[in-house]
Amino acid sequence: MSLTWPLALAALLVFPALLGYRWWTRRRRRRETVRLPSIALVRAALPGRSRWRRRIPLWLFAAGLVVLATGAARPQASVPVPANSTTIMLAIDSSGSMCSTDVPPNRLTAAQQAAKEFVESQPEGARIGLVTFSGNAGLLVEPTENKQALTAAIDALRTARGTAIGLAILASVDAIAEVNADVPPTGVELPADGAPGDFQADTIVVLTDGRNTQGVDPTTAAEQAAARGLRVYTIGFGTTQPSSMVCNPAQISGDASMFGDSSRFGGGGFGGRRYQNIDEPTLREVADLTGGEYYQAQDAAALSRVLRDLPSNIVLQRQDMELTGWFALAGALLVLAAVALAQWWARPPVRTSTSAPASHR
């Protein structure tokens, strides 16, 4: 907890001043006390109040003054709060291996469905952008609140040759820089001695089923993201089981040569079986470098679950929240309680008198 106006704590000096004044008045009364022959008669005439009844209101009043003085200093606490203006960049692998059928009907279709569910589940005000990558990386949708445009772009994903994970991260960084002035684009040279500050609310989610084969190394791109306070969450998608590769014609780009002889296509499918080739060590390193996390999703249900749980991690950011109102309320309640108890316990006791019944003749 921090204080915006710490000089206000000088108000705490009021309490010792009050204690000094109380001590001085009591001492003065003792000097002016009239000596009476019987102290017992005086004590009997005064209402009975135990020592703790005299002290509790005093200490409650003191605590109230302390809390009020602290509130006047405008305390702030760093708390996690929802970030309504966050940008989430989805970078989805569209390499040829996404046609693998180990996740039915194929990896690309399952990824498209999970990504659309993720988009639809986001609260109003959250901006989402879409990057696709195969041999290169491109921004399909700039960060937007238009969910319809996002789902249409996800449906239009097409496979191509190669996997450029590093380029996808850099493209996502540049897309965030367009909407967040606190994030420099990748072409800007950062100070060599500049230590990374707090994380931005904006984040990058990379979904891939393979390893980087072209372009910038993913760890180099991750360092660029980390230097800008951007977290990268990575998802390795697919199983380790060999499976045939089948994509419908609408999911295949014009680069059919990536699968060999195009005459092998039949009914939207093509021959060949492949193993999963996820570079998990690199994906973990990318997440660790940027303060994100790595997830493994071997089927469609696991991928949907990972994406569904992401907002609890990436849509929260820490902000300084002022607590002055709470301190003022607590201080006022303590002072009121002190005054009320002092008045209640200072009431004179109700004395009942009994008289002897009159005698009847």
The per-residue pLDDT for range 7-65, each reduced to its tens digit, is 666 666 666 776 776 677 767 666 655 555 555 555 555 555 566 776 787 778 778 77
CB atoms within 10 A of CB 180: 20
| Confidence label for 214 from pLDDT (cuts 50, 70 and 90) | very high
Q: 288 and 332: one domain? A: no
- Which tokens belong to 237? 């998608």
Instruction: Identify whether 36 is part of a domain.
Output: no
Query: For residue 350, is it within any domain?
Result: no
Which residue in the block uniquely carries the two structure tokens 């996404």? 98
Residues 201, 57 share a domain: no
What pLDDT does 270 receive? 46
Q: How far is CA 304 from CA 203, 207, 332, in A?
A: 18, 12, 50
Q: Report H helices in 267-358.
A: 280-290, 300-309, 311-314, 324-345
Assigned domain for 280 exists: yes
Do 164 and 138 meet the contact criterion of CB atoms below 8 Å apart? no
Rounded mean pLDDT, 283-303: 94
Looking at residue 289, what is its pLDDT?
95
Q: pLDDT tens digits, residue range 118-174?
A: 999 888 778 999 999 999 999 999 999 999 999 999 999 999 999 999 999 999 999
One domain, residues 336 and 234: no
| 154 and 282, same domain (yes or no) | yes
Say if residues 303 and 110 touch (Cβ distance below 8 Å): yes
pLDDT at 1 over 70: no
Tell whether 35 is covered by a domain: no
**241 and 121 within one domain:** yes
Distance CA 289, CA 281 (A): 12
Average pLDDT score over residue span 64-88: 70
pTM: 0.64
Average pLDDT over residues 221-236: 95
Same domain? For 69 and 99 the reply is: no
Dihedral sign, CA of 72, 77, 81, 87?
Answer: positive
| Mean of per-residue pLDDT scores for the chain | 79
Report pLDDT for 75.
Answer: 73
Whether residues 72 and 91 share a domain: the answer is: no
Residues 56 and 114 in one domain: no
DSSP string, 23-82: HHHHHHHHHTPPP-S-HHHHHHHSPP--HHHHHHHHHHHHHHHHHHHHHHT-EEEEEEEE
Please give the average per-residue pLDDT across 196-218, as a whole number.
Answer: 88
Of 346, 276, 252, 307, residue with least CA distance to 91: 307
Residue 351 lies in a domain: no
Identify the CATH number of the domain in which residue 129 sits: 3.40.50.410
221/325 same-domain check? no
Both 309 and 326 in one domain: the answer is no
**pLDDT at 113 > cutoff 80:** yes
Is residue 235 within 8 Å of 206, Cβ to Cβ? yes
Burial class (CB in 10 A: 0-12, 13-18, 19+), 312: exposed
Counted domains in the chain: 2
DSSP state of 325: H
The residue-averaged pLDDT of 291-316 equals: 83
pLDDT at 213 over 90: yes
Asked whether residue 352 is assigned to any structural domain, the reply reads: no
d(CA 176, CA 63): 48
- Say what percent of the chain tops pLDDT 90: 43
β-bridge mates for residue 245, sequence order:
100, 270
Cβ proximity of 95 and 269 under 8 Å: no
Residue-number span of the structural domain to which 20 is assigned: 2-30+41-78+321-345
Helix (H, G, I), strand (E, B) or coil at 141: strand
Query: Is residue 320 scored above 80 in pLDDT?
Result: no
Let me know if residue 113 belongs to a domain: yes
88 pLDDT band, cuts 50/70/90, is: very high
The stretch 211-217 carries a mean pLDDT of 94
267 shares a domain with 332: no
| 210 in a structural domain | yes
Question: Which residues have C-beta within 8 Å of that of residue 20, sequence separation ≥ 6?
Answer: none
More confident residue, 298 or 346: 298
**Shared domain check, 218 and 109:** yes
Q: How confident is the model at residue 352 (pLDDT cuts 50, 70, 90)?
A: low
